[in-house]
Structure 1
Amino acid sequence: MGVLEIIVRVSLVAILIKLAMATDHIVGGPNGGWDTSSDLQSWALSQKFSVGDNLIFKYPPSHNVIEVTKGDYDTCQLTKPIQTYNDGNTIIPLISPGKKYFICGTIGHCSTGMKLEIDTLATATSPVSSSPGESPSPQEIPIIPSPGPEGLTPSPSAESPSYGVPLPSSPLLDTHTPLETPTLSPVVPSSEVTGSSASPLENHSVNQPDSSSASKVIQASISAVLSFLTMLMAF
């Protein structure tokens, strides 16, 4: 299927849809008609004419329909008609927007009010109303600034306070003040520590001579006992 054929088919479908949606406006309404007794101006004001609609005139042989200009409509002149109809069932398609003017060509009928002015709109319009539940327009929605990258807030600066409140100065935030190197105190040798400050190891080393003396006393006692037992066994 070619592109041209597709375009033609789409156009035909659009025309059919438009024709199906078209409105037939019977002049004068169900209780009136194209005659001298109908209030044609009030009927025209109660209608909405759109491009694609049909304007239908139904009348007996004593009347006709003549389309005229604005000037001839105001003065009921028949000398320069745009179009004349007298078939009794005139259907005029409204194919273009704008105003159209019609009068009856029978003498004296136009001056008694048998005339019609219509205004055809380009498309069918419907009133736009706003309900309380409608969302506000983009102009009414307040704009909330989004947070910075990854949702992090900027770190405070010592030179630029935020919201007019000065930040306390800190040596960690002051990049202009060099950091001082801590001074280490000298280590006191263990030999200088006296009294109760001596470590348990040193106390243990001091008490070692007492332990060796006790062991010598025990060994001497055991030797004396063994000698005594040997003498008894000899007797």
Structure 2
Amino acid sequence: MAAMATALLVLLLAAPAVRGAQYTVGDTAGWNSGVDYTAWTSDKTFTVGDTLVFNYDTSHKVDEVNQNDYKSCSTSNVLKSHGGTTVTITLSTSGSVYFICPTPGHCDNGMKLQVDVKASSTPGGSPPSTPSPPSGSPSTPGTPPATTTPSTNQPPSPTSGAASIVANMNVLGVSVVLATLLVAFRG
């Protein structure tokens, strides 16, 4: 029994914390008027567990809607509404997810996003494609500054440190419980 507990402890300590890919919607242009979000999604594969980070100024919001409301730019049946100037949304189910800006006229002028989410075949999803740099995307006052990483054009996750701490604390907690059980079985 002690050998099995020790083996399980070693296995748990060796398991890495896994999370999905993070995409900054619109890359450096953010969630803003004048961005072609259909083109932005065209070279990306989204999987369950990935996150979308919407960066925008106070003239915008993010509403999650159904397909019909997406097509008609209607906010009459909003599934979820997000304010502030930054929101991170985890893609939790496969299928299409629809987002619009509810500010009058913005959705009709193209400020809407359809994301087709695939079931994750590996823990944590797939890494994003390397996006091409935005072409002449003007900066809007109040829009957060763009941050990029050379290989994936992703900013550091604001929660990645917290997620790693939580994952490591979970492993530590399980390790302490297993070590206690191991001592109890030996004693």
Normalised by the shorter chain, which TM-score bucket? 0.5 to 0.7
Output the CA distance in 2 between the equivalents of 1:102 and 1:70: 9
CA-CA distance at 1:105 after TM superposition:
0.6
Aligned length: 121
- The question of 1:28 aligning with 2:26 is answered yes
Q: Does the CA contact (< 8 Å) of 2:63 and 2:102 recur in 1?
A: yes
**Cα deviations by residue, 1:41-60 (Å, 9 ceiling, x for unpaired):** 10011211111111110000
TM-score (normalised: structure 1): 0.46
- The question of 1:107 aligning with 2:104 is answered yes
Q: CA RMSD in A?
A: 2.9
| Equivalence for 1:89 | 86
**Cα deviations by residue, 1:89-120 (Å, 9 ceiling, x for unpaired):** 10001121111000001000000000000011
What is the identity, as a one-letter code, of the residue corresponding to 1:27? V
Output the CA distance in 2 between the equivalents of 1:23 and 1:38: 22
**Cα deviations by residue, 1:38-80 (Å, 9 ceiling, x for unpaired):** 1111001121111111111000000000000000000011111
| Equivalence for 1:70 | 67
| Equivalence for 1:205 | none
**Cα deviations by residue, 1:98-147 (Å, 9 ceiling, x for unpaired):** 11000001000000000000011112469xxxxxxxxxxxxxxxxxxxxx
Specify which of 33, 50, 53 is matched with residue 50 of structure 2.
53
**Cα deviations by residue, 1:130-177 (Å, 9 ceiling, x for unpaired):** xxxxxxxxxxxxxxxxxxxxxxxxxxxxxxxxxxxxxxxxxxxxxxxx
What is the identity, as a one-letter code, of the residue corresponding to 2:17? I
Specify which of 43, 53, 60 is matched with residue 40 of structure 2.
43
CA-CA distance at 1:17 after TM superposition:
3.0
Q: Classify 1:108/1:120 alpha carbon distance in 2 versus 1 (closer, same or farther; 3 Å).
A: same
Output the CA distance in 2 between the equivalents of 1:11 and 1:79: 47
Larger radius of gyration: 1
Give ranges in structure 2 of 5+ residues lacking alignment: 128-187
Give ranges in structure 1 of 5+ residues lacking alignment: 127-235
- SS for the counterpart of 1:52 is coil
Output the CA distance in 1 between the equivalents of 2:48 and 2:107: 26
Q: Classify 1:107/1:47 alpha carbon distance in 2 versus 1 (closer, same or farther; 3 Å).
A: same
Which has the bigger relative contact order, CA under 8 A and spacing at least 6?
Answer: 2
Output the CA distance in 1 between the equivalents of 2:109 and 2:49: 31
What is the identity, as a one-letter code, of the residue corresponding to 2:18? K
